[in-house]
Amino acid sequence: MAVRAVRGAVQLERDEAGHMQERVGALLTAVLERNGLTADDLISIWFTATPDLHSDFPAAAARKHGIVDVPLICAQELDVEGAMPRVVRVLAHIESDKPRADIAHVYLGAAAALRKDIAQ
C-alpha cells in the first residue's frame, strides 16, 4: 500500500457555518467516492480557507461529516489580490494501491477553474 495525496477545493456561496458543513461534506464525499476510498483509507487531511471565511473550521465540518478519527488541521490561505473568494482547499493523505496518475483530484463547481490541469 502506498501513501498518496489527493487535492481538491470548493467555493462557498456564503460564509455561514451550515453552508460550509454542506459544501465541505460534499467535497469530502466526492474525494472518497471518485477514488474508491473509505474513511479508513485516510491518513490525514490539511484544509486551507481563504481569509474571507470566518464562520467555522473546515475540519469541524469534516468531523460532523463522520471523519472522526483522522488527524485534521486548518490553515489560512494566502491573501492574494484577485484570488477566488470563499474557497476551502483540501490536501488528503491516503493509503492506496492506485498509481499516482490514477488519483482523482476533485474541484467542485467554480473551484474547477483553480486547477484545470488536474480537476476531474
Three-state DSSP class for 94? strand
| Non-local CB neighbours of 72 within 8 Å, separated by 6+ positions | 44, 45, 46, 47, 59, 62, 63
For 33-46, what is the mean pLDDT?
97
Q: What is the pLDDT of residue 117?
A: 72
At 44, the pLDDT band (50, 70, 90 cuts) reads very high
Instruction: Render pLDDT for 104-118 as a digit per residue (tens, 0 to 9).
Output: 999 998 998 887 676
Closest CA to 103 of 115, 111, 95: 95
